[in-house]
Structure 1
Amino acid sequence: MKLHLAKAAGQNLFTGYGEDYVVINQIQYDKSLIALPDKLVEDWNVPSFEALTSDHFEFILSLDPEIVLLGTGKNLRFPHPSLTQTLTRNQIGIEIMDIYATCRTYNILMAEGRKVAAALILN
């Protein structure tokens, strides 16, 4: 599916997605990544949902987001609360979504000027 937003000059924007890929600013990605409005982390080493550790969420915290959208692939899957406790302890909101909802919600929050991080597990 292709997505359209009126303007996002200089910002990372999801412009499309599918079951196992996302398109950010017209560039397709098929490996797990983290998108923030002003930064793209292409080497987020999460090969699968089962591989998630608390260290992955510690890294997200280091990016200083206001809210985190965790895209768990084509299916919605919830990580154990012990993995995400570093975010909640630091009052960082976290929402768990499938990849499709993550892309759409990120674009909306980013357009509102929020410092949102979309952490996508793509495999």
Structure 2
Amino acid sequence: MAPLREIEQASRRIERYGAGTFRIEGTVHQGAVLLTQRGVTGWNTVDLARATADDVAAIIAARDDFEFVLIGSGAKMTLMAKAAREALKAAGIRFDVMDTGAACRTFNVLVAEGRRVAAALIPVP
């Protein structure tokens, strides 16, 4: 089992990630998550390279809750499948895909700056 990676930010919402989990504001969440200002929900996506429009439907449904979304692709940067990208673009959602560690760190920094950002995160092993 891989060790949990501590995220050191003065103002943080995502406290740890690793071993298939996320610790967000003191609560451990198993598997992929969608984190918005309204809270944390499970996200049924495990592979961005094969993601469909259905896989990003939860992000689209929450679009009024953020300016843009950071999408964490897991341990390594993975390109999002065309169908999922096109669904987000058609909904007018701005997004950036990066590995999950970078997405967690970037999310915390942007939240500390007071930005309205969401994160859709696939866990790392």
Q: Deviations over 1:49-79 (max 9, x none)?
A: 4552111223201102311111111011011
CA distance in 2, matches of 1:109, 1:7: 10
Matched, 1:40 2:40: yes
CA distance in 2, matches of 1:82, 1:97: 18
2: distance between equivalents of 1:66 and 1:7? 20
Alpha-carbon distance in 1 for matches of 2:21, 2:50? 18
Q: Please tell me the residue identity of whatever aligns with 2:6.
A: K
| 1:51-66 equivalence runs, <5 A | 52-64=51-63, 65-66=66-67
Q: Which runs of 5+ in 1 are unaligned?
A: none
**Equivalent-residue separation in structure 2 for 1:49 and 1:86 (angstroms):** 13
CA distance change for structure 1 residues 41 and 109 in 2, over 3 Å: closer, same or farther?
same
Deviation at 1:82, TM superposition (A): 2.6
TM-score (normalised: structure 1): 0.80
Change in 2 beyond 3 A, CA 1:88/1:107: same
The 2-side partners of 1:79 and 1:39 are apart by 24
Percent identity, aligned pairs only, is 29
- After TM superposition, the structure 1 = structure 2 runs for residues 1-123 of structure 1, keeping only pairs within 5 Å, are 1-7=5-11, 13-18=13-18, 20-42=20-42, 44-49=43-48, 52-64=51-63, 65-122=66-123
Q: How many corresponding residue pairs?
A: 118
